[in-house]
Amino acid sequence: MTRTATRPREVLLPVATLVAVVVVWWGVVRVFGIPAYLLPSPVAVGTRLVTSPGLYLRNALVTLEKVLVGGTLGIVGGGLLAVGVATVPWLRRTLSPYLVTARVLPKIAVAPVLLIYVGTGFSTAVVFVALIAFFPMVVSTTAGLRSVPPHASDLLESVDADPVRGFLTVRLPYAAPDVLAGVKQSLTLAVVGAVVAEWIVANQGLGFLVLLGSETVRPDVTLAAVTLLFVEGLALYGAVVLVQRWLPWTEGRS
């Protein structure tokens, strides 16, 4: 079975857009003579990364660890709950109102509660990231699992198919694009959650560097950290896209 190849345009257009943004940024700083304490040039930001590679790499790994651990917990937990909500009617009727309410609740409001019951440090950040990643996964996966055409469900019932086998061979393949869409959204939001958590409870990580640069009026420090956050988020998103292209269930639907 052939895989969907990545067309050159799909890579070149985003890269060209990024290059154009950097060039415009550099041109604006140069033409208007904007001081570095207001907006440093991309050269200054790049210099900051090159001259302090250990500092940024160490903090990038700290943030990535929170994203991966918390994001995995949120995605797995959200996926399991979505399976229950999609397949058990009474569970769906019981939990749906609370899931909607929890989704619109600002997650930052939960941070003080976590500080009381979990404390400060890595555990609190991971729990916060997991909460951020949890709800998009529940909503997207539930929608996908409930999108199975009626004729497919009727066929499973007519042959008295085993529920687990029917789930793996019919419901999950139909839901795969929505499940992966939920993973994409959860992972990218997990990066945001890790940054917010590091603002509140951490003394290391890219989020901490963003806050430190803001407090010390060093926008080059802040923008260098933001650049690495952008790279991390893009890399995680790209990894899910590669998985999506590899899965036969989603071939031609990515």
Greater confidence (52 vs 249) lies with 52
The Cα 14–Cα 21 span in angstroms is 11
pLDDT of residue 154: 66
pTM, two decimal places: 0.85
- Are 152 and 103 within 8 A, CB to CB? no
What is the per-residue DSSP string for 145-210?
HTTS-HHHHHHHHHTT--HHHHIIIIIHHHHHHHHHHHHHHHHHHHHHHHHHHHHHH-SSSHHHHH
pLDDT of 230: 93
Considering only CA atoms, which of 166, 133, 164, 162 is closest in space to residue 148? Answer: 166
On whether the CB atoms of residues 189 and 138 are closer than 8 A, the answer is: no
- Digit-coded pLDDT (tens) for 83-135: 999 888 888 888 888 877 777 777 777 777 777 777 777 888 999 999 999 99
Residue-by-residue DSSP string for 95-126: HHHHHHHHHHS-GGGGHHHHHHHT-SSHHHHH
Per-residue confidence (pLDDT) for residue 225, from 0 to 100: 96
Identify the CATH class of 58-250. Answer: mainly alpha
Tens of pLDDT, residues 163-199: 677 777 778 888 888 999 999 999 999 999 999 999 8
